[in-house]
């Protein structure tokens, strides 16, 4: 397998995996391209390499910036905007975990708290709803708390956490 074939295979695979960590295929492919790039890339370079439209590239770059995964870079003497991504795999995983908590887990915890806090009218249906949603709320809150402790350990958080689990 030559470089170009390996590059395309990596970008395609990373794009498919993107849905597992909460982003769409094009976002993941852009991040993958930036991840293996030796220099910041312009929007035009990204569009050309991935063969995607300006609108698609622009929208997905904005979303990646919102996630904190991609940053704009200043290149001296250039008027174009350039983009780069976090190169440390563990830091990248930490950023994604924090953002997924903020976007997905926290809203669920809030909703479960609201639902489990309804007034108990004494009926078995209401009692069961409160009991089960409270149990889910407590589990989700505990899992989110553990996630925050793990990602709070910036340096080598993933490795350290896994070693602690298996000791």
Final residue belonging to a domain, choices 26, 59, 85:
85
Name the domain count of the chain.
2
For residue 24, give the CATH number of its domain. 1.10.10.10
Range of the domain at 10: 3-85
pLDDT at 157 > cutoff 60:
no
Task: Give me the sheet containing 70-73, strands edge to edge.
Answer: 41-42, 82-85, 70-73
- Give pLDDT, residue 126: 94
> Do 137 and 112 touch, CB atoms closer than 8 A?
yes
pLDDT per position as a tens digit, 85-116 = 999 888 888 888 888 888 889 999 999 999 99
74 with 136, same domain? no
- Helix (H) or strand (E) holding 141, with range, is helix 124-152
- Give pLDDT, residue 108: 94
75 with 104, same domain? no
pLDDT per position as a tens digit, 3-59 = 999 999 999 999 888 877 778 899 999 999 999 999 999 999 999 999 999 999 999
Q: How far is 19 from 63, CA to CA, in rounded Å?
A: 14
Which pTM value belongs to this model? Answer: 0.74
């Amino acid at each position: 397998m030559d470089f170009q074939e390996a590059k395309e295979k990596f970008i395609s695979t990373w794009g498919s995996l993107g849905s597992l960590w909460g982003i769409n295929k094009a976002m993941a492919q852009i991040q993958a391209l930036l991840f293996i790039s030796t220099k910041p890339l312009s929007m035009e370079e990204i569009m050309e390499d991935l063969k995607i439209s300006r609108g698609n590239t622009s929208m997905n770059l904005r979303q990646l910036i919102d996630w904190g995964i991609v940053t704009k870079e200043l290149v001296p003497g250039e008027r174009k905007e350039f983009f780069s991504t976090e190169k440390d795999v563990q830091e990248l995983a930490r950023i994604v975990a924090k953002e997924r908590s903020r976007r997905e887990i926290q809203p669920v915890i809030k909703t479960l708290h609201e639902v489990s806090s309804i007034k108990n009218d004494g009926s078995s249906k209401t009692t069961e709803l409160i009991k089960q949603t409270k149990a889910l709320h407590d589990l989700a809150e505990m899992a989110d708390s553990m996630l925050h402790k793990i990602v709070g350990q910036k340096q080598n958080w993933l490795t350290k956490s896994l070693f602690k689990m298996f000791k």
